[in-house]
Amino acid sequence: LRVSWHENKTQLSVSGSVRAQLKRRPLVQTFTSWKAPVIWEGMFDFNLFDQRHAEENSSVALTVFAVGRYLDAYLKTFLTSAEQHFMLGLPVTYYVFTDSPEKVPNITLASQRNIKVIQVQKHARWQDISMMRMRTISEIIESEIRHKFRYVFCFDVDQEFKGRFGSEALGDSVALLHAHYYKLPKAQFTYDRNPKSKAFMETGDFYYHAAIFGGLWQNVKHLVDACYLGIIEDKLNNVEALWHDESHLNKYFWIHKPSKLLSPEYCWDQSISDKRDILVTRLVWAPKHYDTLRSG
Ligand code: 2GW
Ligand code: MN
């Protein structure tokens, strides 16, 4: 069912000119066992990606949720920094889901960039706020995104763009290496280990971070539908996966291998002291204030 955009063209450019540009970079893994590239700074000439996506009229929908206190805490920084760094030069629409549309800040947008605010309910449990994103994303892809955009990228809101996050990140099916796990042995990955959950897995390839995932809308639709189904089946069986939607996402990418991986440069936690692999921070975790944000 995996959809591939211009399969031949992609294959050609990867085995030809692009591959020639990929400088071998020591110390980090730049390809997976199934030959998907891991995007690290220094590996690519981003002009080639920009040229190709401009020629192909690529367009990108970004989804982000800002429900309850997360709106005031994070949304403005997220959007204003995205305007500085996210997919510059391509048509981008931000789909902002919130329970308080009237509180969404007014952001000045560059040309070819739009924002669409959509009201959603505020689930009582924060775990449901996070997990139910899968269903809402599926619905907006079906009703709208599929008619207007080739790619869709889904983001946590508690983060800030700091550097280029451009067309090199676009791919058929894109997953993000979790900053805290990319160097750890698999035994330490926090997959769901409860056989009663649909997210259960004994081993995997990587530990992916649910703060960013994306790809062609067809593939993202398939992903969010599969994750949502797992979440609902778990509810019927009275179980909840260890890391909620992230556990289901990891299960999905174990079965349906992503075609491109983003290095932790694309979602870095600045509190990590070993920064040797991180040549550029493109997006960073915003500080968490669990005491005020998770209470009540
Ligand atoms: C979430 C947790 C506790 C209290 C509030 C919320 C909350 C989340 C909220 O009140 N309002 C809201 O809009 N959210 C949205 O859900 C928001 O977009 C946020 O970025 C996203 C995920 O919640 P977050 O960022 O607090 O969770 P993290 O950073 O611990 O994220 C990882 O694990 C999550 C599952 O537990 C998700 O898989 C997430 O994608 C992961 O990055
Ligand atoms: Mn987050």
Strand 159-161 versus strand 283-285 pairing type: antiparallel
- The finding on whether 70 has its CB within 6 A of some atom of ligand 1 is yes
- Is the Cβ atom of 40 under 6 angstroms away from ligand 1? no
Q: Give the pLDDT of residue 12.
A: 37
The verdict on whether 246 is a catalytic residue reads yes
Closest to 158 in 3D by CA, of 8, 294, 277, 296: 294
Report how far residue 153's alpha carbon sits from residue 287's, in angstroms, rounded to the nearest whole number: 22
- Contacts of residue 18, defined as CB under 8 A and 6 or more positions apart, other chains included, come to 44, 45, 48
Q: What mean pLDDT value characterizes the chain?
A: 92
User: What is the C-alpha separation between 20 and 118, in angstroms, rounded?
Assistant: 44
Show the CA angle centred on residue 26, arms to residues 20 and 28, nearest 5°: 100
pLDDT reported for residue 128: 97
ipTM above 0.90, yes or no: yes
Q: What is the pLDDT of residues 199-253, one digit of tens each?
A: 999 999 999 999 999 999 999 999 999 999 999 999 999 999 999 999 999 999 9
Rounded CA-CA distance 184/205 in Å is 12
- Is any ligand 1 atom within 6 A of the Cβ of residue 66? yes
* Domains by residue range for the chain, with CATH: 35-285 (3.90.550.10)
Return the pLDDT at 293: 64
- Please choose, from the candidates 77, 95, 14, the residue with its C-alpha nearest in 3D space to the C-alpha of residue 48: 14
Calculated CA dihedral for residues 195, 199, 203, 204, nearest 10 degrees: 170
- The rounded distance, in Å, linking the Cα atoms of 134 and 161 is 23
Confidence band for 44, pLDDT divided at 50, 70 and 90: confident
Cα distance between residue 207 and residue 175, in whole Å: 10
pTM of the shown model: 0.92
Distance of alpha carbon 32 from alpha carbon 182, whole angstroms? 13
What is 74-143 written as a DSSP string? IIHHHHHHHHHHBSTTS-EEEEEEES-GGGSPP----TTEEEEEEE----SSHHHHHHTHHHHHHHHIII
The neighbour count for residue 164, using CB atoms within 10 Å, is 17
The closest residue, in CA terms, to atom 42 on ligand 1 is: 211
Q: Whose CA is nearest to atom 7 of ligand 1?
A: 126
pLDDT of residue 17: 47
Q: Which of 156, 227, 252 to mutate to test the pocket of ligand 1 (most atoms within 8 A of CB)?
A: 156
Contacts 24+ apart (CB under 8 A), 118-121: 120/65, 120/67
